[in-house]
Each structure stands twice: as C-alpha cells, then as structure tokens.
Chain A
Amino acid sequence: MTNTKTKKEEDDKIASIEVNKKAKEMTGAEIIIEALIEQGVDTIFGYPGGAVLPIYDEIFKQDKIKHVLVRQEGGALHAAEGYARSTGKVGCALVTSGPGATNAVTGLTDALLDSIPVVCITGQVPTFLIGTDAFQEADTVGITRPCTKHNYLVKDPNDLASAVHEAFHIARSGRPGPVVIDIPKDIQFAKGSYTKKEKAVMHTHYQPPIDPDMEAIELAVEMMAEAKNPVFYTGGGVINTGPGGSAALRELVRETGFPITSTLMGLGAYPADDKQWLGMLGMHGTYEANWAMHDCDVMINIGARFDDRVTGRIDKFSPDSKKIHVDIDASSINKNVVVDLPIVADAERALKAMLEVWRKKGYKADQKALTKWWDKIDHWRAKNCLAYKKDKKIIKPQYALERLRYFMEKDKREVFITTEVGQHQMWAAQFLSFNKPNRWMTSGGLGTMGYGLPAAIGTQMAHPDALVVDVAGEASILMNIQEMSTAVQYHLPVKIFILNNQWMGMVRQWQELLHGERYSESYTESLPDFVKLAEAYGGKGFIANTPDELDDVIQKMLKTDCVTIVDVRVDQKENCFPMIPSGKAHNEMILSPDADKFDKSLV
C-alpha cells in the first residue's frame, strides 16, 4: 500500500513539474524580451537584420518596450549611452550579427572608457554554422572581448534569462560598463525555461567593493584637516554613483571650504556657478584649476582616473602633494600616478563617510592657510584665462556659446547638452555651465567624433520635454548625420548647434602649434548646405554668418518642435585656450595672449 501511494505521489509530482515546465517553456526570443522587461527596460535602440529576426518578431508582439530604429548600429550604441548617462539607468541596444556587431564596437569601446552602463544584444548565426564563415558571421565575443566589461555567447536557451539578468547587474554595478550578449539565431527559436531575476545563476565572485575602509577614511579626513593648500579633483565616478554622490560632494566641499575642480566627465557634479568651483582641469582646463593642482599640498581625487589629458607630463604632475584617491576600480589606483592613500570604494559612500568623520571629530579647515590659498587662487583667476578677442564681424565660437548659454539659462525646460569631439567640445565644457549631474553627455575617454547626435537622440527619448542641444563641429556631425532621420521619425526636437569653421579644428590647432603649420588634410573643401540638409531630412535649418544674426537664430532654434540644425559660421582660425601642450606640465600652460610666443620652431 505504502509503496503504491508513494509511487502515485511521485507520479503526481513529476506530472506537476512537467505542467510547470510546459507553462514556463518559452522561445529564446520570448525569454529575452521577458528578461528585458523584468530589468525595467522601456526603450531599446536597434537595427534589425537576419540573425535577430526572432527577437524583432517578439518586439512586434508587445508594447512594453519602445524600440527606436536608428540608421546605423553605431548610432544605437551612442543613443543607448546618452539614454544611460542622462537617466542613470542601463542603456540597451539590439543589433544583428556580423556588420551589426562590428558597427557597434566603437560605441562599446566608448562606453567602456567612459564607464557607461550599456547592455548590447547581438544576433549571431545559428550554432551549427558558427565557425563556417557563414553569411554575416563575425566572432562577436572575440571582437568585443577587449571592449566590454564582460560578454556572453549563449548556446542554451535555458541560460538566456540568467545571462540577461547578470549582464544588467554587471553593467550597472561597480565601475559601470558595456556588456554584450551574443545569441545565435537557433537559440532565439529554441524553447527553454525562464529564470526570474532573483533566481538567476551568476558568477559568485563578481562582487565589486562598495564600502570604504573606515581607517583609510579617517586618515584621509585627517590629511584634509591638516592641509594648507587642498584641492578636490573629481571625475565621472561621482556622476556614476548617482545623485546622492553629487549631493554628498557638495556638502563636503562647502563644509571644508576647499576649492574644487573636475574632469570633463565629472562636470555637473559640483555647480559651476558656485564660488568654490575652479572650472575644468586638464589640457584645456582653466589656469586656476591647473595651477591649484600643481601647487596643492593635499589632493583629494574622487572618482577620477589621472587620465593623460588631465595630468599632462606625469613626472611633473602636482609634485609636492599628498594624494588621496577614491575609486571603485582597484586597477585605477597607482596606474598612472602613484598615490599616498588609496581608497577602493563607491564614491557616494566614501564621500558620506568622509563627511561623517569630518563632523564627528569636529575638524575645521586651517582657515589662515586656506585664506592664503584662496588669495593665491584669486590671483590665478584674475588672469581671466578664458578671455578671447571679441570681433564685430566674425562670430567667435566662444561668443556663440556664451549666447547659447544665455538663452538656455532663460529657458524653463531642463537642459541637456551633448557634444561631438574636438575644439567645440572643449569650448562647450569651458563656456557652458553645468549645475546638475547627468546633464552633460560627451565622449571623454575615447573621443568619438559622431557621438553627439545619437547621444542627443537617446537623451531626448528619455526626457521628451527637455531641451537637448548637441554642440557640434561640422566635421564631427557628418560622422553620424544619418541619425537626423531617426530624430525626425520619433519627433525628437534635438537642437544641433554647429560651430562651423570648415576645419577639423583641434587637428588644425595641433598642426599649427605642434607640426610647423603643415595643415595636412584637416580642411574640408566641400561641405553640405546644412540648412538644406536639415530640410531634406524633414527638420529645420538656420544659418548665422555674423554676430548680430546669432541671437535671433538661437531664439528661433529654441522654439522649433522638430530636429533643428543651426549652422554657425565661426572664425576659422580660432584656437582653444588655455592649452597644456602634450608632454608639458600643468604650470606650463599657454593662454590665448601667449599663443604667438609659443615656440613653433621646436618641431
């Protein structure tokens, strides 16, 4: 009796498992969409192709995820970056195998260098064709291994959900970055079971450090309290940690009274209109920021990585300072610059811990020394390093940005700025002011020309009512101009503010200053009529040739309800100053008035 009963129970159990299994059996493509929805994805940027058709079929059948059809896969990745950077969420892209994946590589590398959380799903040829040089086959995991934080080739539909969940976890945790999931077409068709987020099988050892070592924090705060000439040097890490990081930074900086500068990636974490703000540092940073870095005695680096564009000549970088370095990535520490006190931790937690210790121990900054230090800084500030020669007939690029800033400040909408790469990017960093985090999207580490327009599209998708402006150069914008069409399709009123000098301005500037004025291939002899180009795509276009036309054109631009190009014809010869020539130290920077004295004969 007992035996039969047990057997019956067992049969029932097996039957119920099978029913369960059947209920949860889904195709690979269904699993992917389900997992994306569970991860909170509302927008995905992509481009269909043979190897992702089953996934596109599932996208067609649902309405929870909005798909944005870009015009080239590179655009999808930058758009996902813009979306991620402006929201703090993970950006998501979907591309096909072979050329789809290889086009995505630039965007993935960009996201890796700037620590932007992105998950990119790539289609792959069916498993039985892998390795046969099949149509549109490329070794995607091989190609993307060095340009992602992690990647997967999923060969079993039962592993798909876990891979997606882990991919999002890896992309957003620790030092964020891009993750690729490569999925063969037969796996998209095959049936498998779904795994929920909390049950996902993950790498057990992947646990990025978060909490700071309190002993190190106490030591750091003690160093800060004893400092005579301190400076905060902050980076993208403060943005990546979330709005709490910026809030904690502001409190700590105000409470200590120390000056603060930031990298290109960190702009907005500390308000630019605050009196303790020194402006951006580095190759095109302000005179006061770079001198403060050079002369400081205690440097507090939060979430920046001593990039070569920041440090200039390494052996002469801030020679007399004690350096505190807070970074969530242990490999960033002592990579370029050897520091005195490393703290591997999340920026927000480290900042809050510093603040807590500062208050608890009742530390006060050395006011006498600090006053002297500020006097010195004011003396550097008096140089007015961003000054430029105004002109009544020719539009100076700096003037154009000052006017843009003026009208944007009057605008009631939230303002988001993206840029392409080059002189205009540096001028935008210098002349526009960023008072909030996540409002500034620019390609810092990789320096990807063509980043700005797709990033603006991603940003506008996430913030439909905001004012999104892509400050561009005429050379960069042409690298992803096809995305105009995307902006029109989704009614995205992105403003493209082109500082058009007909030159690859930064290349020209280096050729002038460092290569004996040999202007090799940096002049674009033929350019499109940007007004007509905008109209051809279905947007609006304006042109400003002289300074007195500028205000009117900017105001018109801000009022349009569709994608708009403004072609600002600026001074062709203007250079971006201050500048630390490559290989020079912070105290060897050249300013606009000294530019003529720069010894070009050295080359």
Chain B
Amino acid sequence: MTEPKRQKRTKSVSVYAPAPIQEEEETHILAILVNNEPGVLARVIGLFSGRGYNIESLTVAETDQDQHLSRITIVSTGTPVVINQIKAQLDRLVPVLEVSDLTIETAYVERELALVKVNCTGEKRIEALRCADIFRARAVDSTLESFVFEITGTSEKVNAFIDLMRPLGLVDVSRTGVAAISRGKNPIGA
C-alpha cells in the first residue's frame, strides 16, 4: 500500500522554481587592499560566507604601516557571474580601497609557503633530503628522527612536495595560502 504512494511523491513536479543550471566554475586570485581597521577581515569573510561564495585560500597582513593598509589575497572559485559579483560586493565595503582580479587583469606571480614536518629514519631520511633538494625545499629544523622543510612555490608545487613526503613519514603541514602580485612595474590599482 505504501509503495505506490512513495513513488508518486518522487515523481511529483514541484511548482516552485527549479534551481538554475550551473555554469562551469573558474578559479581566480583576488588581491584586495583594505584599511587595516578592526573588523575589516570579518567584513570580507562575512561577505563570502553570507553570500555563499567559496574561499580556497586567504592570506592577510599589514603591508603599509604608515597608512594602515592591509593586503588580502583570496583564491576563490565560482562561475564568471559569481566572480564578478564577488568583486562588486567587495568593492562596496567601505574600508576596501582596491579589488584586483589578478587572474584576468594581468600577468602575475603567485607563491605559497609551507612548513612540512616529516618523521623518518634510515633510508627514508636520505630520500626525504634528496626530494627536498629537487624541490628546492630547505630543512629549517632537524632532529635525529625528523625534519621540518620550508618550501615555497605555486600551490601545485607545494601539493606535489607534500604528496611526495607522505610515504616518507609526513606528520604535519602548515601552509600560508597564496600570496600574489602582478608582474611589471605597476602597483595594485594602477
């Protein structure tokens, strides 16, 4: 008796609007220059969470102490329409000075730094050092059973290094997220 009823339910057509079909998502690096005042980061992050945008990585630090300016670098994914919305919404915040979409506006350099802790002994120690050398990672701490490597590069490079360390005894990773800047002589907003 219950079977046909359930079937009818699943087949029923909602009278409410169907969710729109999603376009393909893209990844963009946004550089945001803000007044370094209390709550500014919360405003930016709150905008992303409140409107359902993605944050893949976020880095922030004061970059101009005299003028109290901070630079936030956000890696976000979304459809082109959503990415444009993100930029327009960020630009609306009062303490935001500049929003620059490095991915489409300019050629840029991106770097991420990671500290990677690997516990290993014997053969694996030698292998870890050899790999680190290939990736130009530096050992910044060492005990007889462990290393801490420092590696900088694109996120992909950092990912690759971490993957490589996994079988060698990877136990801990700390990553900064992406910092990025445009190539050439022009500063942000120019």
Q: Report whether chain A binds chain B.
A: yes
Residues of chain A at the chain B interface (Cβ within 8 Å) = 141-142, 145-146, 149-150, 153, 170, 203-206, 313-315, 329-331, 333-335, 338, 514, 581-583, 602-603
Given contacts A331-B91, A333-B88, A334-B81, A145 and B15 within 8 Å (CB-CB) = no
| SS of B interface (majority) | mixed
Q: Which residue of B lies closest to A514 (CB)?
A: B15
| A residues less than 8 Å from B12 (CB atoms) | 602-603
Tell me the complex Cα distance, A315–B19, Å: 11
Could you mark each residue 91-126 of chain B with 1 if its beta carbon is under 8 Å from any beta carbon of chain A, else 0?
110111110000000000000000000000000000
The residues of B that contact A314 with a CB separation of less than 8 Å are 17, 20
Among residues of B, the one whose C-beta sits closest to the C-beta of A333 is: B88
CB distance from A153 to the nearest CB of B (A): 7
Cβ–Cβ contact B85 & A145, under 8 A? no
> Among the listed A142, A146, A153, A331, which residue makes an inter-chain contact with B85, where contact means beta carbons less than 8 Å apart?
A331
Asked whether A335 and B95 contact (CB < 8 A) given A145-B39, A313-B17, the answer is no
**B84, A145: Cβ atoms closer than 8 Å:** no
Closest A residue by C-beta to B92: A331
Q: Tell me whether B42 is interfacial, beta carbon within 8 Å.
A: yes
List the 5 closest pairs (A to B, CB-CB), nearest first: A583-B17, A331-B88, A205-B97, A150-B94, A330-B88
State A514–B85 Cα separation when bound (angstroms): 32
Q: Are A582 and B46 in contact (CB under 8 A)?
A: no
Q: Is B18 part of the binding interface, using a Cβ–Cβ cutoff of 8 Å?
A: yes
What residues of chain B lie closer than 8 Å to A149, measured between beta carbons?
94
* Residues from chain A with Cβ under 8 Å of B81 in the complex: 334, 338
* Count, chain B residues at interface, CB 8 A: 28
The smallest C-beta distance from A455 to any residue of chain B, in angstroms, reads 26
- Verify if B4 is at the interface (C-beta below 8 Å from A): no
Cβ 8 A contact of B15, one of A146, A170, A335, A582: A582
Tell me the bound Cα distance from A333 to B95 in angstroms.
21
List chain B residues, Cβ under 8 A from A514: 15-16
CB distance from B119 to the nearest CB of A (A): 39
Q: Are A205 and B42 closer than 8 Å at their CB atoms?
A: no
CA distance A153 to B98 in the complex (A): 24
- Chain B residues near A334 (CB, 8 Å)? 81, 84-85
Q: A206 and B94: CB pair below 8 A? A: yes
CA–CA, A582 to B43, complex, Å? Answer: 33
Q: Is B89 an interface residue (CB 8 A)?
A: yes
- List of B residues within 8 angstroms of A335 by Cβ: 85, 88
B89 and A331 within 8 A (CB): yes
Chain A: minimal CB distance from B81 (Å): 6
With A141-B39, A145-B46, A334-B84 as given contacts, are A205 and B96 in contact (CB-CB < 8 Å)?
yes
Complex Cα gap A189–B41 (Å) = 30
A315 to B92, CA, bound (A): 27
Residues of chain B within 8 A (CB-CB) of A141 are 39
Tell me whether B187 is interfacial, beta carbon within 8 Å: no
B50 partner residues in chain A, CB cutoff 8 A: 146
B1 at the A interface (CB under 8 A):
no
User: Given the interface contacts A330-B91, A331-B88, A331-B91, does A145 sit within 8 Å of B43 by beta carbon?
Assistant: yes
List B32-91 residues whose CB lies under 8 Å from chain A.
35, 38-39, 42-43, 46-47, 50, 81, 84-85, 88-89, 91
A532: shortest Cβ distance to chain B, in Å? 42
- CB pairs A–B below 8 angstroms (11 shown): A146-B47, A203-B95, A205-B98, A313-B17, A315-B20, A331-B91, A331-B92, A582-B16, A583-B14, A583-B15, A603-B12
A597 CB → nearest B CB, Å = 15
> Do residues A146 and B46 form an inter-chain contact, with CB atoms below 8 A?
yes
B16 contacts A583, C-beta separation under 8 Å: yes
B144 interface hit (Cβ, 8 Å): no
Say how far B138's CB is from chain A's closest CB, in angstroms.
40
User: When each residue 118-148 of chain B gets 1 if its CB lies under 8 Å from chain A and 0 otherwise, what string results?
Assistant: 0000000000000000000000000000000
Q: Which of chain A's residues has its CB closest to B38's CB? A: A153
B97 proximity list for chain A (CB < 8 A): 204-205
